[in-house]
Every structure is written in C-alpha cells, then in structure tokens.
Amino acid sequence: MSIPPLSNVPTHVAIIMDGNGRWANKRGLPRTMGHRKGVEAVREAVRTAGEVGVRYLTLFAFSSENWTRPEDEISDLMGLLKAFIRRDLADLHRQNVRIRVIGDKTNLRSDILPLLLEAEETTRNNSGITLVIAFNYGARDEMARAMRSLAVDVKEGRMLPEQITPERIASRLDTAGIPDPDLVLRTSGEERLSNFLLWQAAYSELLFVPELWPDFNRDSFLAALERYATRERRFGGLSKPATLAVGS
C-alpha cells in the first residue's frame, strides 16, 4: 500500500506498547508469545515511522517497575531485546536509523548493557530516524537523577540555585537533545501515562487506541497519525497550528 498524503506529521512519536499479555491470553498462549509478536510490531512501527517522515520514535520497552514481573517473563523480555539488537542492528544501521537508549544504565546486567551501548555507538552518526528505546526507564527516576546531578553542581559551586531553569533540567534528562514528543500513543485501550516521559509530555497530544500492541500495524499507525493531524496544539497559548514542532 502506498503512503496516503499525510499532513502535520509529528516530529516525535512516543509509544507505550501495551497489551502483549492480553493478546496472548486471548489465544490461550503464554504471555511471552505476546511479547514475541510484539517485536514484529516494533519492526513494522519503525518502518512506518521512517516512511512517513517521523524523525524520532520512542518505544517504552521495559520500565523500571517491570522488574517486579515473574522471573521467567523478565528473562524472556531480556532475551527478546538482546535478540532484537543482535539480529536487527545491522539492518537498522543500513536503514540509517540512529539508536538512543534512555533509562537508568547503572547496574544493568552485563549481558545487556554492552549491547545497548554498541547499538548507540554503531549508529551514532546516522542521519535517518532516531529510534529511542526506553529500557529500565521510569520518568520519576529520570527526573530524580537529573535533579541529583544539578544538586551536585550547586553543592560544588558550579551553579547557583536560581540558575536551575526548565531548560537546564531538560538538558540533564536522558532525552537531552531530543525534541519533546508531539504525540504520545498508548495501545490496548488503557488510558494512563504509567511514569513515561512525564516531563517531556507536558504539551504532547495523547492518543489511546484500542488495538493490543501485537495487532498494531502500519494501518493502525497511519490512522493514529491522521487523528493527530486534526488536533489543534496551543502550548498554553490561544492558538497555534499543529505543524509547529515542539521545541521550536
């Protein structure tokens, strides 16, 4: 299918990929099968985003709260992420995709961290879409780490408290240098942000779609972008066109 004419394509789309477990339950399959199918949906989402001109795609792959899931599910999710990077990195690199990983990288397992760093390093100079993988990510944790680093600067005399501005806070977040998401989308019908990009989503459009993540395909993505295009973004003012990129 060719790309329909899309107006007001968001610069940055962030997705909470929810519903893998329910997708599997509905079919009498183990939850891990839902995650496996979810990886295929990840590939399709990256392709579609690149095709339509989205510049940044952030995917919530594993939250800092997901460690409370059963051990076998955690181990399967880790395995899938590792396999995704091992198998898809060369292909993503060829597609000129740049990979960034956000989330707390301290104390990550020794079989995961080097892979994530390698993915970032290999694709550092690519100029196509940026795929931001949120791994071991929680927005409150991200903000606490940013505040701590500012507090150290104040304590050591490099900064005055009154120099702490929203811009300086943003520059200490994991997303430094990445424009705020224009659109935050969550699949599976749940309507929550679940500790995802709480600072960055201050003016994002929110879209909740009923599809479970493994069913979220190219058509679902295009339909979501069409809905986004009809939104009028005001950024706290009276009226601004939806084409205005956040951060500009």
Residues binding ligand FPP (CB under 6 A): 17-22, 35, 38-39, 42, 59, 61, 66, 77, 80-81, 84, 133, 213
Are the CB atoms for 113 and 85 separated by under 8 Å?
no
Q: Which ranges of 95-180 would DSSP assign to H, the alpha helix? A: 113-123, 139-155, 166-172
Question: How many CA atoms does the CB half-sphere of 146 hold within 13 Å?
Answer: 22
CB of 143 to ligand FPP, least distance (A): 21
Q: How far is CA 199 from the centre of its chain?
A: 13
Ranked by CB distance to ligand FPP, the top (closest) residue is 21
23 or 150: whose CB is closer to ligand FPP?
Answer: 23
Pick the catalytic residue: 66, 126, 195, 217? 66
**CB 3 to ligand FPP: min, Å:** 23
Least distance to ligand FPP from the beta carbon of 141, Å?
A: 16
For residues 102 and 146, which CB has a smaller minimum distance to ligand FPP in the complex?
A: 102
Cα(206)–Cα(142) distance, integer angstroms: 21
- Both tokens of 46, joined, read 């990256």
For residue 22, which phi and psi values (nearest 5 degrees)? -65, -35
CA dihedral over 166, 168, 172, 176, signed as positive or negative: positive
Q: Which is nearer to ligand FPP, 80 or 150 (CB)?
A: 80
Query: Would you say 80 or 201 has its CB closer to ligand FPP?
Result: 80
CB of 43: closest distance to ligand FPP in angstroms?
9
Q: Look up 66 and say whether it is catalytic.
A: yes
Strand partners, 206: 184
Q: How far apart are CA 64 and CA 167, in angstroms?
A: 25
* Cα–Cα distance for residue pair 58/71, rounded to 1 Å: 26
Q: Which residues form the catalytic set?
A: 18, 66
